[in-house]
Amino acid sequence: MRFMQLPLIVLIVFSAGLIPARLPKPGASGTINPISCQIWHNDPGAQITDTLATNDLQRLADEIRPIDKLEFVPGFKDAWACSLSGLIQPSITGNYRFHIASHDSGLLFLSTDESVTNRRFIAETPAGTDLRNYRYYSAQTSDPITLTAGHRYFIQAVVKSLPGGGGCVSIGWTLPNRTFQGPIPNEFFSPAADLTPPLPSRRVNQFSLSLKPEDAPTTQPGIHRFIRNAQIQVNGQSEEMSYLIDLPKDFTPSTAKPMLVFLHGNNRQGYNTVALEQTGPIHDMESNPALRDWLPMIILAPQLPPDWRWDTPGAAQSVNALVHELCKRYSWIDRKRIYLTGLSMGGKGTWLTLENSPETYAAAVPISAVDVRPDQAPQTLKDLPELHIACGSEDGGFTAGSHRMYEALKPVLGDRLQFTVFDHEGHGVWDHFYASKAFYEHLLKFSR
């Protein structure tokens, strides 16, 4: 069976800062309810990934409730987080797909067996959905996962709800016979001695990145591909990252050029850098020869390893470390004019990467992105020379998140903050920027 790998990174941090075990209260019959819900009130994070990154949930839960199905709709008005967990026992052998719906962001994990240690990230709600709306985002549905009848598998959903009410989480599945069931009821769970396992942490304690030696100098205009060329160490685990460098037509190694760092959206992960040309600046330039001929800018496009996301621990650090290593290697990068942009999931990556090393960039443009730590961003990004937030007016959580980031940053950035909302448009508004000469001309006005 195929699991999405939050793997090497998430698993190695489970041993750090475990939540002390607490048993749920037995039901009226004296038996232990097979599904547990841990609840933390007044959680400060903006998204569940922020909450896990800061280890906010490594303290004892404020409440532990037994529940009768894999769903929780509490009606709380405060900012809260929760973890639903149990041992699921399918009655049919075959391929299953799991689905998560939550308000606001949520992550879903499944183990290869009963062990918490072997849990893997399989699906997520990147921004809030309505209750039981399991198919609003493609990321809410897992890949097919083979399960064996009668075997028990540890499952866990972790969710963050913002203040104001409406928070919820519901987990469903599609059975091998294509029957859908959501939420998954109590009858498919079996009791466990402890239903309060340690939560997945997203903290990076150790990080390093190195580049393989270059076979030949990168000095000719055009696209240069570096497959698995960056060696990453995150918390003692190894990974490889690919990237491409696109040198402009007027490039000469004797003249330093500004550089645009582009972060791709979901489903572009892996080791095939051609995927980086299918959406974004390189794609739009290839369809506009005049723009390609004019552009006086290097483009760097890092590619996430398979099954990583830009909020995977170490991803933001990898981008910044890659930029710094390339600046050491190539004198033709103008270090004072490095710009950052990304779309969709890469828009979230833009926020994360920017907040990890704001002094690296002269300007940033997150497009169609959810919000990331709006309570912390004003202090972190207060010295950024230029920031432009963009989204469609009808893009759900991405629109709401963009507005939250704008409202949080406007008091500190003032005229250095631009906000563009495209009326009557949804998610894919990035072509308004990447296909436009004016987009690049505006960036080129700013330097560190």
Query: What pLDDT was estimated at residue 193?
Result: 55
Contact 258/296 with Cβ under 8 angstroms?
yes
Average pLDDT over residues 55-80: 86
How far apart CA 46 and CA 405 sit, in angstroms, is 11
33: pLDDT confidence band, cut at 50, 70 and 90?
A: low
Q: Is the pLDDT of residue 15 over 80?
A: no
Per-residue pLDDT, 26: 35
- Three-point CA angle 159, 345, 244, nearest 5°: 145
- Cite the residue boundaries of each domain of the chain with CATH code 2.60.120.1560: 7-190
Task: Return the DSSP state at 187.
Answer: G
Please give the radius of gyration of the chain, using alpha carbons only, rounded to the nearest integer: 23
Indicate the length of the chain as a whole number: 448
- CATH class of the domain defined by 7-190: mainly beta
The pLDDT tens digits of the residues spanning 226-264 come to 999 999 998 888 899 999 999 999 999 999 999 999 999
- Structure confidence at residue 198 (pLDDT): 66
pLDDT at residue 336 tops 90: yes
The pLDDT assigned to 448 comes to 93
What is the amino acid identity at position 202?
Answer: R
The token pair at 244 is 């491409």
Instruction: For CATH 3.40.50.1820, list the domain ranges present in the chain.
Output: 207-443
Range with lowest mean pLDDT among 103-107, 325-329, 417-421: 103-107
pLDDT digits (tens, 9 = 90+) for 137-159: 888 999 999 999 999 999 999 99
d(CA 402, CA 395): 10
Give the model's confidence band at 216: pLDDT under 50 very low, under 70 low, under 90 confident, else very high: confident
Least confident of 40-49, 397-406, 418-427: 40-49
Maximum separation of any 2 CA atoms in the chain, in Å: 79
Angle at Cα 121 formed by Cα 118 and Cα 127, nearest 5°? Answer: 155
The separation between CA 300 and the C-alpha centre of its own chain, rounded to angstroms, equals: 20
Rounded average pLDDT over 402-420: 96
4 vs 254, more confident: 254
The whole model's pTM is what?
A: 0.71
- pLDDT band of residue 24 (cuts 50, 70, 90) is very low
**pLDDT for res 228:** 96
Tell me: the pLDDT tens digits for 199-210?
776 678 789 999
Which pair of structure tokens corresponds to residue 446?
Answer: 């700013």
pLDDT of residue 2: 39
Q: Which residue has the tokens 């893009």?
A: 395
Higher pLDDT, 244 or 8: 244
Structure tokens at 77: 């008005």
What integer pLDDT is reported at residue 202 of this predicted model? 66
- Asked if the 207-443 domain carries CATH number 3.10.20.30, the reply is no
Question: What is the C-alpha to C-alpha distance for residues 187 and 108, in angstroms, rounded to an integer?
Answer: 20
- Tens digits of residue pLDDT in 348-400: 999 999 999 999 999 999 999 988 888 889 999 999 999 999 999 999 878 98
Q: Is the pLDDT of residue 222 over 80?
A: yes
Task: Tell me which of 299 and 372 has the higher pLDDT.
Answer: 299
